[in-house]
Amino acid sequence: MEACSDVAMGMWIDINKIPGDARRRKDPITKYAREHGLVFPKMLRKINWRILIRAIDKDVPRFIQSRFGELSISEAAYENLLEKADQEYPRALEELRKSMVMSYV
């Protein structure tokens, strides 16, 4: 697999396709997002959090986003949260799909 090809993992951005002046900036990804009307990278975690808490119980989103300081759990409860996160994450993805459809309507 090539390091940053167009098809590699879908989440990678080929740095060679970003205009030369953007590569010299401190944060070329944010500049690229601004110029193309995309969501800023720093907002992705917040958007994910809001979708997760809308779809599932708050302890699971805290677990998924590694907000362990906000959780008061024992090791046994950790295993339960892992299982619960696996079960409930599809509901969060469905909520994301609904949000995306609503934004295009």
Same domain, 100 and 51: yes
Same domain, 73 and 26: no
Which residue matches tokens 């024992």? 74
Same domain, 51 and 31: no
Phi, psi (deg, nearest 5) at residue 7: -95, -5
pTM of the predicted model as reported, rounded to 2 decimal places: 0.57
Same domain, 31 and 54: no
Same domain, 25 and 54: no
Residue pair 71/62 in contact by the 8 Å Cβ criterion: yes
- The count of structural domains within the chain is 2
Quote the domain boundaries for residue 5. 1-38
Question: pLDDT of 11-69, one tens digit each?
Answer: 556 666 666 655 555 788 888 988 988 888 889 888 888 988 888 888 888 888 877 77
Same domain, 62 and 99: yes
Token pair in block for residue 13 = 């951005």
